[in-house]
Amino acid sequence: MTNENSAKTVGAGALLLVVLLLGGLINSPSAHAQSNADADRIQQGFAMAPVPLNLMGKSSYQVALVGRGSYLVNAIGDCNGCHTSGGPPNFNYLYGHNPYFLHPGPAQANPAEYLAGGANFSTALPFNVGPGLPYGNYLGPNIIARNLTPDLHGLPEGGKTLAQFRGVLRTGVDMDHIHPTCTSSTPVPTPPNCIPPPVDGSRLQIMPWPVFHQLSDDDIEAVYEYLSAIPCIDNKTSTPPDGAPNELRNNCGSSDNSGAVMPTEDSLARTRR
Ligand code: HEC
């Protein structure tokens, strides 16, 4: 069963579970003091998720994290504002639901590309690193928002563990080394996908990790848990980052994802935490 299918089948049961869980949270005296505001956010988080959520196999604690994670991803972090493959004119919104247009319907994200990555943040932007530096108007590599949807094992962001995910949000490290800092001082840098100094190519660019790194451990776990519950999307349509032809592809375990990155021994051996 694909994540997408299981998400559908589990939908009704999950909703019931959430209602029961929230009831429990709100009524439990021990959780009461800290939980009223949190329970509101969890409830709103579930209500605003633009895609069906797969809560199969999650403990009630993890289900609560999913709700809180949805709130952080959809109401605060605007992750889908950047991690989408949608182009003009609707970008990450469904046709007719772009709130920046005249007479739109209610704002609604396009589930077909939700958090699947693909937006390019540097096409044709001159990468002028300043006078006297050898790279002048060197066009920097394409900086492309990555696919954050889970793989067929339900691990977010194409197979990251919680520890890896936490490391990315805390330090901005690019675990895929897609655009290392250029080492050559010649005008044509090698490899061609590198970023000239003073930019640190080992860190994610554009991605607001210097802000997200201040999230609490619990909140990062909530974002992670939510990203494990959204449907897998194998983004075959967007141009991948330079030098990383498989970066946006994701193995959703369905028959139509030939060409997706297949799981390695290592990724199969990974456990959730
Ligand atoms: C302003 C745009 C923007 C926003 C908002 C944004 N991201 Fe990103 N993110 C990016 C870009 C661009 C990259 C790739 C950067 C690069 O290649 O240097 C990225 C990379 C990442 C990566 C690394 C992926 C990998 O394969 O290593 C993770 C994880 C990530 N983002 C998570 C998130 C989460 C979670 C949120 C919301 C809480 C978020 N991002 C919000 C633009 C954004």
What's the rounded Cα separation, in Å, for the pair 168 and 170?
6
- Mean pLDDT for all residues in the chain: 80
- Is 196 in contact with 189 (CB distance < 8 Å)? yes
User: Residue 59 burial by CB count (10 A; 0-12/13-18/19+): exposed, middle or buried?
Assistant: exposed
Name the residue at shortest CA distance from atom 12 of ligand 1: 145
Ligand 1 within 6 A of 143 CB? yes
Q: Per-residue pLDDT tens for 124-152?
A: 444 444 454 445 555 567 899 999 999 99
User: How far apart, in whole angstroms, are the C-alpha atoms of residue 77 and residue 70?
Assistant: 10
Looking only at Cα atoms, what is the longest distance across the chain? 66
- The model's pLDDT over 40-59, given as tens digits with 9 standing for 90+, comes to 999 999 999 999 999 999 99
Q: At what angle do helices 3-27 and 29-48 cross, to 10 degrees?
A: 150
DSSP 197-216: TTS-TTBPSSS-HHHHTTS-
Q: What is the pLDDT of residues 160-196, one digit of tens each?
A: 999 999 999 999 999 999 988 877 655 555 556 788 7
Contact criterion met (CB below 8 Å) for 56 and 5: no
Rounded Cα–Cα distance for residues 4 and 112 (Å): 11
* Ligand 1 center from residue 165 Cα (angstroms): 11
Residue 221 in this model has a pLDDT that exceeds 90? yes
Instruction: Report the first-to-last Cα separation within the chain, whole angstroms.
Output: 23
Give 110 or 135, the one with higher predicted confidence: 110
Mean pLDDT of 91-112: 93
User: Which residue range is the domain that position 59 belongs to?
Assistant: 3-269
pLDDT at 18: 47
Across 109-113, 240-244, 257-261, the highest mean pLDDT is recorded for 109-113
Check residues 271 and 228 and name the one with the higher pLDDT: 228
For the Cβ of 178 lying below 6 angstroms from any atom of ligand 1, the answer is yes
Quick one: pLDDT at residue 197? 77
Number of domains in the chain: 1
| CB of 73 sitting under 6 A from ligand 1 | yes
Could you tell me what percent of the chain has a pLDDT over 90? 56
List the structure tokens of 22.
């929230």
**Residue 152 Cα to ligand 1 middle (Å):** 21
